[in-house]
Amino acid sequence: MELGTMDTSLGNFLRLTVSCAAAVCLAIQPAGAEVIKWAVGGDEGISWQDQELSSTAMNFDTPGAIQLVAFTSEDNIISSLDWAEAFPPGYVQERAEALVWDNVAVVRPLLEIVDGIDTTSTHLSFKKFGISQNGTKFFFDLGTRFPANRIAFFPRIEGISSEGRPFSQDYIRGYVLRVNDGSTFNEQNEPIYAPLKRVDFTRETTAEIDFPLQFVRYISLEVTSASPFEVAEFQLFGSGFAPTGSYRSQIIDLGEPANLSHIEWVVEKLRQVGDELVVEPAANAEVTVVMRTGLDDNPRIYYEYTNLFTRERQVVTEDEYKSLDEGVRGPIDDDQVNWSLWSPPFTESGQPIQLPSPRRYFQFEVRIESGVILDGLRLRSLSVEHTIPPVAQLLVAEISQLDDPRPVGDVPIVPAGDFTTFAYDVIAEVEEADTGFDALRILTPQSTPVFRQFFMGENATEVVPDSIRAETGSLTIFFSSQRPGPGIHRMRAVLDAQIFVQGTFVEAEVFDSESGEVPQRVQPGDANPEVLTNALRVLTSATSAGNLVSSLVLSSPVFTPNGDGVNDQLELNYSLLQLVKPVGVEVAIYDLAGRQVRTVLDANSTSGAYAVTWNGRDDQRQVVPPGIYVAVIQVHTERETFVRTGSMGVAY
């Protein structure tokens, strides 16, 4: 079996280096890796504000922490936001900047009505002699949703015009107020406003509108009176937390490539009681974090149009892009060559970072969500644990069926729940300064794998591992006596495993078994030119994709629960497939009259192989009469219940 030549498999991943064959390389002792924590917030971390790229609905007032923004009944939400005059063409993604605009073609000084200063106003903009103001509209986009229950607006209360008219008399005499919570839009992606209050005529200088506490993002104020007017301040009040807030970091530079291992954070859950925030562990609020890692300090690619007619373009630097005329600025895309995609959300502190490593650069984004309007969360600190130097400079792997290395579509497709023989190819580049490794752990979600063979070196020499550890969820191969030294090394593990869920990723990591240092994950890619999958994903066949319960297998067609210790129990084996979250599973025994005699299992389960036993007794712990019985497995999902049955005999 040939694993292929070095230079064809590495492609653009590895530079050519001098390597030694695994059979003759001397084992080297790993250099000690330094475990480092990069931290933001807390007592010793970098300032959250210094590291901020952008944020929405976040508060930085608590030293060393960020928290979901909260308001009391006396806080004017409008004046706490950063405003700009702009007319958005439709839906705008949630962001930190708030927008104000009107339906008048002439540019008006609208920022004065949201600046929190009651001595500035729209002045003469809506006081032109002979011009009816009926139909004038103001629009406010808060940028994200905020809890609100009161709106107020008014002219300047003090002062008079050059003609001697008090400014306070120039109030809006008729209006319609409408709001939108940021969740409903029409086909043009424009907010669908709900009427909040209509006033045909008022003598009140200050308009104050109270309404039930609710989330608001967009506000529309339509003037229905013809009289000239001015607005000094438009205000919004409410109590509670914003429903969501986000914080995106700048690009973090670790100084040199590092093996990113775990992400950790410290939080305090909060509850608003009156106008006070108190720590409440039971508060309904959660934090999630996503990350991405990169080879350089910019996760974006900038384009310049070289031909506006054909839309031909070329890559330019960020500085070059900023200096271009607007007309030739092309799109800005994510750099998916030098940067990873954003990770799935981390939901708990201490989770491993399963992103390309070693990497020098990373970026993270925090999202805090409140499930109740008076509950929120404060993020005290966040840290990323990493090691320098890494285990290896590069680890690339791919998985295939042993007998089908070039599958149709370049993706292995196997029957769900059945044991399949896989080949797992790994290629590693180890430099002198790297800590190195002597163990490979292949992660097999919910499956207990079976080891078959292990090969190392350019010529795929079969070697006998020092030891093997197979357990539910992983297969670990130890090879201290064949420890790879500096250079480029190939490995192939052959194993049997089950795939329970469509699109399962069979990931792996290498580590030094002696040092106990942080493992380093492999990355999908071309680890063997004879294998065309170049990936770690495995699909399940169409014929098995719709089955949630595999066939029920009984340990014996007949058993004798008479207490003699021989064939006293029956084992029922089954597999649950395609389940990505726990569902209700019931295993019960029935007699031929359809009566349930024993509940063997009633629990929540997810995908995996299971075995339960029945001792031949009913729910009253009495031995059942001899005869034929039926085992029934029911899997209760949100859409339907899936059932499998099997029969057995009880004899004495």
N- to C-terminal Cα distance for the chain?
55
- Decide: residue 602, CB within 10 A, 0-12 exposed, 13-18 middle, 19+ buried: exposed
Residue 56, pLDDT > 80, answer yes
Q: Please report, for the chain, the start and end positions of each structural domain, with discontinuous segments joined by +.
A: 38-67+246-299+335-387, 73-238, 394-544, 553-650
Helices and strands (DSSP H and E) totals, the chain: 3, 45
The reply to whether CATH 1.10.8.60 applies to domain 73-238 is no
Q: Which CATH superfamily is domain 394-544 in?
A: ntegrin, alpha v. Chain A, domain 3 (2.60.40.1510)
Say if residue 85's pLDDT is above 80: yes
- The pLDDT of residue 89 is 72
Look up residue 339 and give its two tokens: 């940067």
| Strands 523-524 and 394-401, bridge-based pairing | parallel
Cβ contact 215:77 at 8 Å: no
- How far does CA 611 lie from the centroid of its chain? 33
CA distances 545 to 540, 580, 643, Å, are 6, 13, 16
> How far is Cα 402 from Cα 47, in angstroms, rounded to an integer?
52
- pLDDT of residue 598 exceeding 80, the answer is yes
* 389 cis-preceded (ω within 30 degrees of 0): yes
The answer to whether residue 8 scores a pLDDT higher than 70 is no
pTM of the model: 0.74
> Is 469 in a helix, a strand, or coil?
strand
Q: What average pLDDT does range 109-130 have in this prediction?
A: 92
- Classify strands 375-388 and 66-68 as parallel, antiparallel or unpaired: antiparallel
pLDDT at 5 over 50: no
Question: Hey, what are 389's tokens?
Answer: 């130097």
Of 573, 553, 579, the closest CA to residue 647 belongs to 553
**Contact of 377 with 275, CB cutoff 8 Å:** no
Same fold, 73-238 and 394-544: no
Domain 553-650 sits in CATH at 2.60.40.4070
How far apart are alpha carbons 563 and 558 in whole angstroms? 15
pLDDT band per the 50, 70, 90 thresholds, residue 156: very high
Query: What pLDDT does 18 receive?
Result: 29
pLDDT of residue 105: 66
Task: Please report, as a single letter, which amino acid is at residue 77.
Answer: I
73-82, 256-265, 542-551: segment of lowest average pLDDT: 542-551
**pLDDT on residue 94:** 85
Task: Report helix, strand and coil shares of the chain as percent, to nearest 5.
Answer: 5, 50, 45
Rounded to an integer, the average pLDDT of 44-55 is 95
